[in-house]
Chain A
Amino acid sequence: MAGRGRGRGRSNLTFSIEAMGFAKGEGLPPSILQPTPLFPPMEHKPVPLATGEEAEYMQALKQEFRGAMKTLPFYIRPAAPKTDVERYSDKYHSGEPADNVIDWKPDWSRLPKELRIRVRKPVENRVSLPVDRMDRSSANHNLSKKEDVLLKLEALEKGEKAGSSEDEDEDETKKKQKEEEGTEGEEEYEEEELEEVTCMQMYHITQG
């Protein structure tokens, strides 16, 4: 059957060639045997972007919005996995994000009950947080009751002494981190204090 059409049915196609616009004898264009290139060459260059005050203002708004969202508590960063051995200083360093604590206070009446998580307490009581977590966390930490009470008293004392100003507390914890971590922390501390004075555009780029 394969050889029967030789010479006779060579150009028996399902469509008529004249209707397609090919003259008789003209070859069909060669068939393509590979997928189209990923970046095909463009014959026509695209129109330039709109410029002007409105476009620039909206672009600045966009970058500011992105930067602002990164600082809000809605930007969720997963807690870094603890790779090191448990250390004594862990219970005084509450550290930044913890998985089971939410940083902002939602209106729980608008959300289903099953989503309820503990809200992170405000900065004044931050020193007492490690104690609370020690109480509730799983069987790794077995503190006797006396030690609990002593630790709690210590923490409350510290809480009172540190005073009610947020900045001082933040500075303290930042200073502690700085001493531990070296120059990285120092720059963070400076940035934290001076973020308003930093050049806005660079801030946008790094945050966005």
Chain B
Amino acid sequence: MTAQEARLCGLLLREHFGEVVEKIGTHLLRSGAQNLRTIVNESGTPIDLVKKSLCVLMKHGACRFSIGRKGPGSPVEYQASCERILGILRYPRYIYTAKTLYSDTGELIIEELLQRGHMTMSSIVKMVADRLTHNMEEGRSIEYNEVVSTFSKLVETHFLQRCPPVSEVVTGPPTPESFSDCYLVPSVSLAGRGKRRRSGEDVVLDQGTTKKAKTDLQTHGDEGIYWQVNFERFHLHFRDQTIISAVASKLDQTSSEIVRTMLRMSEVTTTPSASCTQALSANEVFRSLPANYSISRPILDQYLTLLVDDPMEFVGKTGDSGGGMYVVNLHKALTNLARATLESVVQEKFGSRSARIFRLLLRKRHLEQKQVEDFAMIPAKEAKDMLYTLMSENLVLLQELPKTPDHAPSRTFYLYTVNQLATARMLLQHCYKAVANLIDRRLFQTKESKRLLEKSQRIEAIMASLQASGAEPEQLTEVEEMISAPEKQQLESLRHHINKLDSAENQVDETIFLLKSYVASTARITR
């Protein structure tokens, strides 16, 4: 939990849950596990607001409670989870992935779950059905069963999981996987269709609304079983997507299809923390290729050989039985992708010659000043300059190798080196800082133009009401003219800036995901 992460968490909490939750959340992040009274005293917030914030944070999984440190009698302690809050950055990506895999129904299910933290299956199904019905044309509505089937598919592929049961005596962080019924869909009696919410008509029907009150009180047999989004599964999916698109851009579409097939086949057999997938024989791969990619067997063998020989080492050969046993090297792929990211960052920031020096140092590990100049084929003065710039940014380190025990400077080797893991961590922190700055800038711009935005919103509302009540065109144009042309321009440019800032946040999040996966994967390997 670094200062940059804490600042970013604070901004994310403020945007999504308000300033009260931001204050409590950042306080918990900075001071670790605390009990309720300490939080109230140290943060200076009234106890009711603290209670509400803690309830909200726990509903969304950002905070958990555990028994106090001093034993069973001591008050309950609360601990906030930095990673979970940072995950809010990635919500649009989760929703978009659900849309590509399970179309609109899946998208809405994931969106509703992300907005509300965790919910019972019946409430999700009802809400999603109502929303889908609302967006469809008049006269059509969605059966609950359709939503239930999409929900079951999401659970089968592990994208959704049950929340683990909560008990007062919690020893460590509860892992949902340790709960045996994690992916068991309860048998629920849900019959009905989505209700279309009509704005004006609800007022009239008395019976309609009493029926509505009754259905709200119905229990569906799955009380107490809450579902949450399984972020780890989404991350595995993203990792696979990244590898496949890297292969596609480096080699060609067919090789990426082969790698996609291999990853798909090993989805269930590979543990999430494995460094490479289970070995697959070339025969199996040939049989499982998608129907529209009919390549002949020798061609497949050639492609596999190419993939194995590629310096990025995405695919490795572990044996010769069954036509050749091949694995996808997940850890090596992540390492190489992270390395490519670092190289590209240096290139964009310092120019292609500095990038050449950086790549050289990554490949050759330790080099002296003279050797750097020779291998990179850059004149001495410029090479020196670039090296020092890279060193001042902490991308390149200096390793001293004494020849004599008295470490005399004239008799010591000074070697330049790059430490990939440390550099990746540092860049990760830079990314967090970048996103925090982007959010800050967006909030600042919105605040500056607040008056203008409010005015435009009022005018929109007036326009809409006039149109709904059927006014003449002169009235409409009159209202439109209440905003002057320069103001319209200002609004337009404001909208453009905000869109750009949002887009930039999404893109930085992709880099964050890659670097974080690499760091986590390396930590797992070395443990």
B461's partner among A100, A165, A166, A187 (CB-CB below 8 A) is A187
* Residues A39-55 near B (CB distance < 8 A): 43-44, 46-47, 49-51, 54-55
- Chain B binder among A56-64, A127-135, A136-144, A149-157: A56-64
Does B52 lie within 8 Å of A55, measured CB to CB?
Answer: no
Q: Which residue of A lies closest to B24 (CB)?
A: A76
Does B369 lie within 8 Å of A190, measured CB to CB?
Answer: no
In the complex, whether B523 has a CB less than 8 A from a CB of chain A is: no
Tell me the complex Cα distance, A160–B301, Å. 79
Tell me the complex Cα distance, A55–B92, Å. 10
Contacts of A76 in B (CB 8 A): 17-18, 20-21, 49, 52-53, 56
Tell me the complex Cα distance, A197–B54, Å. 35
Give, as a whole number of angstroms, the nearest-CB distance from B210 to chain A: 6
Tell me the complex Cα distance, A57–B111, Å. 14
In the complex, whether B264 has a CB less than 8 A from a CB of chain A is: no
Does A62 lie within 8 Å of B461, measured CB to CB?
Answer: no
Contacts of A61 in B (CB 8 A): 91-92, 95-96, 111
Number of interface residues of B (CB under 8 A): 80
Does B410 lie within 8 Å of A59, measured CB to CB?
Answer: no
In the complex, whether B430 has a CB less than 8 A from a CB of chain A is: no
Does B224 lie within 8 Å of A202, measured CB to CB?
Answer: no
Does B409 lie within 8 Å of A205, measured CB to CB?
Answer: no
Give, as a whole number of angstroms, the nearest-CB distance from A195 to chain B: 9
Q: A58-B93, A66-B16, A197-B468 are in contact. Are A99 and B409 (CB under 8 A)?
A: no
Tell me the complex Cα distance, A166–B369, Å. 77
- Chain B binder among A2-10, A14-22, A83-91, A173-181: A14-22
Tell me the complex Cα distance, A65–B52, Å. 21
Does B495 lie within 8 Å of A205, measured CB to CB?
Answer: yes
Q: Mark B441-465, 1 if CB is under 8 A from A, else 0.
A: 0000010000001101110111011
* Residues B482-499 near A (CB distance < 8 A): 494-495, 498-499
Q: A58-B96, A78-B20, A164-B206 are in contact. Are A191 and B461 (CB under 8 A)?
A: yes
Does A46 lie within 8 Å of B348, measured CB to CB?
Answer: yes
Give, as a whole number of angstroms, the nearest-CB distance from A134 to chain B: 18
Give, as a whole number of angstroms, the nearest-CB distance from A119 to chain B: 10
Tell me the complex Cα distance, A99–B53, Å. 11
Does A190 lie within 8 Å of B20, measured CB to CB?
Answer: no
Contacts of A202 in B (CB 8 A): 453, 456-457, 460
Tell me the complex Cα distance, A166–B213, Å. 11
A100's partner among B48, B349, B454 (CB-CB below 8 A) is B48
Q: Mark B339-350, 1 if CB is under 8 A from A, else 0.
A: 000000000111
Q: A72-B116, A165-B206 are in contact. Are A198 and B96 (CB under 8 A)?
A: no
In the complex, whether A163 has a CB less than 8 A from a CB of chain B is: yes
In the complex, whether B362 has a CB less than 8 A from a CB of chain A is: no
A49's partner among B55, B458, B503 (CB-CB below 8 A) is B503
Q: Which residue of A lies closest to B504 (CB)?
A: A49
Q: Mark B404-418, 1 if CB is under 8 A from A, else 0.
A: 000001100010000
Does B226 lie within 8 Å of A107, measured CB to CB?
Answer: yes
* Residues B17-69 near A (CB distance < 8 A): 17-21, 36, 46, 48-49, 51-56, 58-60, 65
Does B203 lie within 8 Å of A99, measured CB to CB?
Answer: no
A115's partner among B55, B384, B454, B499 (CB-CB below 8 A) is B55
Tell me the complex Cα distance, A199–B52, Å. 33
* Residues B471-526 near A (CB distance < 8 A): 494-495, 498-500, 502-507
Does B95 lie within 8 Å of A206, measured CB to CB?
Answer: no
In the complex, whether B166 has a CB less than 8 A from a CB of chain A is: yes
Give, as a whole number of angstroms, the nearest-CB distance from A100 to chain B: 4
Contacts of B202 in A (CB 8 A): 165-167
In the complex, whether B312 has a CB less than 8 A from a CB of chain A is: no
In the complex, whether B178 has a CB less than 8 A from a CB of chain A is: no
Give, as a whole number of angstroms, the nearest-CB distance from B27 to chain A: 15
Tell me the complex Cα distance, A20–B15, Å. 50
Contacts of B210 in A (CB 8 A): 164
Tell me the complex Cα distance, A7–B20, Å. 67
In the complex, whether B76 has a CB less than 8 A from a CB of chain A is: yes
Q: Which residue of A lies closest to B453 (CB)?
A: A206
Does A75 lie within 8 Å of B17, measured CB to CB?
Answer: yes
Contacts of B218 in A (CB 8 A): none
Contacts of B203 in A (CB 8 A): 165, 167-168
* Residues A92-111 near B (CB distance < 8 A): 99-100, 102, 106-107, 109-111
Tell me the complex Cα distance, A46–B511, Å. 15
Give, as a whole number of angstroms, the nearest-CB distance from A207 to chain B: 10
Does A69 lie within 8 Å of B115, measured CB to CB?
Answer: yes
Contacts A65-B111, A66-B16, A197-B467 aside, 13 further interface pairs with beta carbons under 8 A come to A21-B384, A49-B503, A56-B503, A62-B506, A69-B17, A72-B115, A72-B116, A76-B52, A107-B224, A164-B209, A187-B461, A194-B468, A198-B460
Jot down 12 A-B pairs with beta carbons below 8 A, ordered by A. Answer: A49-B500, A57-B96, A62-B92, A65-B92, A100-B48, A106-B55, A107-B226, A110-B166, A117-B51, A166-B202, A168-B203, A205-B453
Which residues of B are in contact with A by a Cβ distance under 8 Å? 15-21, 36, 46, 48-49, 51-56, 58-60, 65, 75-76, 91-93, 95-96, 111, 114-117, 163, 166, 168, 199, 202-203, 206, 209-210, 213, 224, 226, 348-351, 369, 380-381, 384, 409-410, 414, 446, 453-454, 456-458, 460-462, 464-465, 467-468, 494-495, 498-500, 502-507
